Structure 1
């Protein structure tokens, strides 16, 4: 019997401009036919906020497909699988904001113990898909932030960050309410608990990728069996836990290669690879070049890191 082909997920990694916590993708470039020749989901390293001005189609958020049209907006947590598809042969006009939620909250609500962590958990607890007419205040904030960044005027970044804090505060407040929800949570009821557990697992990997992480140890930390952990992770991410850990490690290695002159072997060790050949193999698999080749071409940073094509393979 032929082995069933597994799905592909793409990690669309964005490099945040230095000393910033948000950036925008604006303009005519984002008026296009979405989803053409793409049959896989993707995820980002930052929270994505999208606003649809015109067009129609459907979005896949996790396990659920939802139709969209002009005048709708989305808020999609980092590491959340999704994709956008225009109606066949039609154009859709979107613009996007990407936000480093944790750094923005640390910057803006510093001094209030536990506040940033609690807000971040609520913001990242679900994906939002909403009509602007039902939530005009949130929609207006999104468009205002985009227009401020578009203007490029003095202090526009500071003003945009202030409005973004207002936006995220409202999102956190609403996500914390049990009575009313405006989100299309792809996994409701008892699975919401699994969503929150999964986000904590992703955070745990981000904090400990430089250590000798074992899948069995992560499962033990999460208080679930290793088999259940592997099954849950692969279901959410369409890749194995080890593949994701390697993606995070190579992402970190790219940062070191760009910003330091440390030896490659030292960087490999910092990023959790105890064997240099394993590091080199994974680096080339993910980026398409060796660490030394990549370091010689830092001007190609965004192209090199990492429109990851992550393939789940048996045995990982």
Structure 2
């Protein structure tokens, strides 16, 4: 291994008999480029940044999962040095090699067992997929909660959740490799992109560039899956998010307008009243009474 790569060893993380470690951390610029003698599943829960992994630098955002084989060097870096305002939050699930052998003895499907063992032996490249229908996110949250508060049966529950995580990840990887996800899969992530970037100027050409679909195809997909045009869907989504902020925050209306993508407050007022039938201030007052 390259001497410039820091090695993280199993004994730093694994204390329980299950040989499993799960955490939720905010990434910074302090952790060095490192490898480890265990298998790691890392899920991007919030924020954006970059994953330096092996020889690659991968832009990351919420919903991405990486499976990092034993011995592969990597490190996450947030997009901004101001980590308090723009955090990059990752769920990490670490597997000791002993647990990998137990899991491979339990999982029935030969292909999944072989894939798991190959990851442990560093015989396959790292995995990068986007979470489909938030299945992986739900499993990561359950794993984190179960390890945070130990209860009766926690070891059995964790073992079951880990099996689900491995199988769910393998299914989505298989779908990605064989092109089985289809238009609805791609469209789900177009909707996720809109939801996560409402404060930005979003054009149809941006979605086309990110998804590989033509603007005409994307337009048809919006009508098919939402019953609205792209512009109408985006407008309603922005107003929906502004309603949530009006109810849950003390932000001024002008700031809320900016947070959901409106640079002109008058335009925001006009569209808000047309869709909700009320002004933003009236809506805020009613929602709090």
Task: Kindly indicate which of the two structures has a greater share of residues assigned to helix.
Answer: 2
Larger Rg: 2
Q: Which has the higher contact order (CA 8 A, sep 6+)?
A: 1
